[in-house]
Amino acid sequence: MSGVALFIDGKNALYRAVYAVRNDFKKQIKNHSFVALLRQYTHWMNKYRPTSVHVFWDAPRKEVWRRDILKTYKEGRDNNAYIEDVSEDLFKIQEMSKQFFKCMNVRQYGRKKMEADDMIYAAAAVMHPQKIVIVSTDSDLIQIPFVFNNCKVYNPSKDIEPDIPDVNPAVQKALMGDKSDTVDGYRGIGPKKSKILLESHSDLREFLDIQGREKFVQNLMLIDLSLCPSLLINRLYIRKKLAENTSYSKNKIMELIQKYKVNGLMSDFADLVLPFSNLKE
C-alpha cells in the first residue's frame, strides 16, 4: 500500500455526529446523523487526501476483555444519562453506517471483546511504515505514534495534531490513572510527578517498592495497547481484512438512501459521497 491511510475511531466519530444533530435544534428535522457523520469524514479526507479509509468499531462496552481485569472499567460511562439518551440513535446509525461503508470503498474492522483502540494499534503495526493518520479524541491513542513514527493522531474536537510525548504515555497514565475509564492511579501523582518518575528508572523502582506494584501492573494491562492479549490474533485478522477487495457502488448507495430515507444525502451527494469513489490504495 502507498499514500496516506486514514484510520477513524468509528464510535468516537459517531458520538460527535449524533450529538451535533441533537444539539442543532433549528435544523434537527432537516439534518440526519449519517449526513453529519459523512460531513466529518469528507472534511478529514479533504484535509489529509488519503488513498484509503479504515473504520474501527468497538465491541459492546460491557463485553470488552478489559472488564475481565477490572469490573468497573468505563462503568461511569454506562451510567451517564446523556449517553443513555442517545444510545438507541447510536446503534441505529452505526448499523446503517456499516451498510453504507460496505459499498463506499471503506474498510471496516471489529472483533468480539476488542475495543477500536486494540484494532487500530494492530493495524498500525501491520501497515507500518505506511503513513497513517488516526482520527479520534481518545487520548489513549497518542501512544501509537510514540511507538510507530509513521503515525500521527488528529483530534477533531480541538482541530489539532497532539505532540508526541517525551515519555511513554501508556506507562505515564498507568501511574496517574484515567478517570474517564474509571481506572484509579496513585494518590498525588499527576502529569508532572509521573514524568519525573519515568525519567529515572531508580526513582520509579523506589516509588513502586513503597507504593506497591499491583495497581501499576493492572493499569498497564488496561492502558498499554501493546499488551492486548489478542494482539497477534488481531494482527492476523487485520491482514486478512486488508487482503479483501473494497468496492464502490452508486446503485447500492442509492438503494440505501431510499431504504433509510436519508434524503439530505441526495442534495450533497457530490460533496459527501463521490470522494469515496476516488479512493485508490
All cell numbers assigned to 186: 496513585
Residues 12, 86, single domain; the answer is yes
The distance of Cα 264 from the centroid of its chain, to the nearest Å, equals: 26
Could you read off the pLDDT of 106-123 as tens digits, one per residue?
999 999 999 999 999 999
The CATH number that applies at residue 47 is 3.40.50.1010
Q: Can you tell me the distance from the alpha carbon of 207 to that of 78, in angstroms, rounded to the nearest whole number?
A: 34
User: In Å, what is the CA distance from 132 to each residue of 11, 51, 86?
Assistant: 19, 10, 31
Residues 90, 205, single domain; the answer is no
- Spatial CA neighbour of 113 closest among 75, 64, 70, 62: 64
Could you read off the pLDDT of 136-145 as tens digits, one per residue?
999 999 999 9
Confidence of residue 86 (pLDDT cuts 50, 70, 90): low
Task: Assess whether pLDDT exceeds 80 at residue 67.
Answer: yes
Tell me the percentage of the chain whose pLDDT exceeds 90: 83
Residues 231, 143, single domain; the answer is yes
Residues 39, 155, single domain; the answer is yes
Confidence of residue 89 (pLDDT cuts 50, 70, 90): confident
Confidence of residue 20 (pLDDT cuts 50, 70, 90): confident
The distance of Cα 276 from the centroid of its chain, to the nearest Å, equals: 20
Residues 23, 53, single domain; the answer is yes
Task: Assess whether pLDDT exceeds 70 at residue 85.
Answer: no
Could you read off the pLDDT of 143-197 as tens digits, one per residue?
999 999 999 999 999 999 999 999 999 999 999 999 999 999 999 999 999 999 9
pLDDT of residue 264: 84
Confidence of residue 103 (pLDDT cuts 50, 70, 90): very high
Could you say which of 189, 205, 223 is where a domain stops? Answer: 223
Task: Assess whether pLDDT exceeds 60 at residue 75.
Answer: yes
Residues 200, 158, single domain; the answer is no
Q: What are phi and psi of 59, to 5 degrees?
A: -70, 160
Residues 158, 178, single domain; the answer is no
Whether the Cβ atoms of residue 235 and residue 122 lie closer than 8 Å to each other: yes
pLDDT of residue 18: 86
Average pLDDT in the 229-247 region?
A: 97
Residues 129, 38, single domain; the answer is yes
Domain that holds residue 180: 169-223
Please state the domain count of the chain: 2
Could you say which of 199, 223, 247 is where a domain stops? Answer: 223
Residues 104, 180, single domain; the answer is no
Q: Which residues are 248's β-sheet partners?
A: 104
Side-chain-side CA neighbours of 219 within 13 Å: the count stands at: 23
Task: Assess whether pLDDT exceeds 60 at residue 228.
Answer: yes
Confidence of residue 29 (pLDDT cuts 50, 70, 90): very low
Residues 92, 217, single domain; the answer is no
Average pLDDT in the 71-91 region?
A: 70
Could you read off the pLDDT of 53-63 as tens digits, one per residue?
999 999 999 99
pLDDT of residue 30: 47
Confidence of residue 259 (pLDDT cuts 50, 70, 90): very high
Average pLDDT, the chain: 92
Average pLDDT in the 22-26 region?
A: 62
Residues 183, 156, single domain; the answer is no
Residues 72, 181, single domain; the answer is no
Tell me the percentage of the chain whose pLDDT exceeds 70: 93
Could you say which of 181, 197, 223 is where a domain stops? Answer: 223
Cα Rg of the chain (Å, integer): 20
Task: Assess whether pLDDT exceeds 60 at residue 38.
Answer: yes
